């Protein structure tokens, strides 16, 4: 099911009379009929925005070029909330994960924050209007998953901290490609 935003009605003075109206209904299977021209209907100006799990469209134009990053970013933010709640259950104990200054506790906090920050970065990239190659988005998503995973694995077994080069290379490559591919 798609959400469709329909019709912004204008008053006789040309100012918006109401905001967009949202209705849940299946997206039309056929092409929408052409909208009336201003000459025949000066009182009404219509737009159709369809939002689906793969992205949003404004007529034939895609509003969300990187839908996978957008959706995965929100899942990473949800995971940050869940891990924050789980870590918060033990923070009142002074000896939790080896104490406040221990490597295990610091790297677990880093994993929790990496979920939220890199999830937000993926949401932001998902809204980017520039139709870049798919590779930077995939690298950004892989780095956003790998960084908290390596953090939590390092908190579990300290020798696994040697794996930090993996998410660092993924994220540096993603940002470098994004900067390179953005037109001047």
> Could you write out the three-class secondary structure of 52-115?
ECCEEEECCEECCCCHHHHHHHHHHHHHHHHHHHHHHCCCCCCCHHHCCCCHHHHHHHHHHHHH
Instruction: Please state, for a pLDDT cut of 70, what percent of the chain lies above it.
Output: 63
Output the six-digit token pair for 146: 């790998």
Lowest mean pLDDT among 37-41, 92-96, 104-108, 141-145: 37-41
Q: What's the burial of 125, exposed, middle or buried (CB within 10 Å: 0-12/13-18/19+)?
A: buried
Output the six-digit token pair for 93: 């104990």
pTM of the model: 0.63
78-91 average pLDDT score? 90
Plot region of 32 (φ>0 → left; ψ -120 to 50 → alpha; else → beta): beta
- How distant, in Å, are the alpha carbons of 24, 51, 55 from that of 48? 13, 10, 14
Most confident stretch, 47-51, 61-65, 146-150, 155-159: 146-150
More confident residue, 6 or 70: 70
């Amino acid at each position: 099911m798609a959400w469709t935003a329909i019709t912004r009605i204008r008053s006789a003075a040309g100012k918006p009379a109401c905001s967009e109206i949202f209705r849940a209904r299946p997206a039309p299977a056929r092409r929408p009929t052409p909208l009336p021209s201003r000459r025949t209907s000066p009182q009404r100006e219509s737009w159709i925005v369809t939002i689906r799990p793969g992205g949003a469209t404004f007529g034939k134009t895609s509003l969300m070029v990187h839908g996978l990053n957008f959706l995965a970013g929100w899942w990473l933010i949800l995971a940050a909330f869940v891990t924050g709640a789980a870590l918060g259950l033990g923070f009142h104990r002074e000896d939790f994960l080896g104490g406040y200054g221990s490597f295990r506790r610091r790297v677990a906090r880093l994993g929790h924050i990496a979920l939220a920050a890199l999830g937000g970065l993926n949401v932001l990239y998902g809204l980017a209007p520039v139709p870049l190659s798919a590779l930077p988005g995939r690298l950004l998503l892989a780095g956003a998953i790998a960084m908290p995973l390596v953090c939590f694995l390092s908190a579990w077994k300290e020798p696994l901290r040697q794996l930090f080069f993996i998410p660092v290379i993924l994220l540096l490559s993603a940002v470098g490609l994004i900067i390179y591919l953005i037109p001047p």
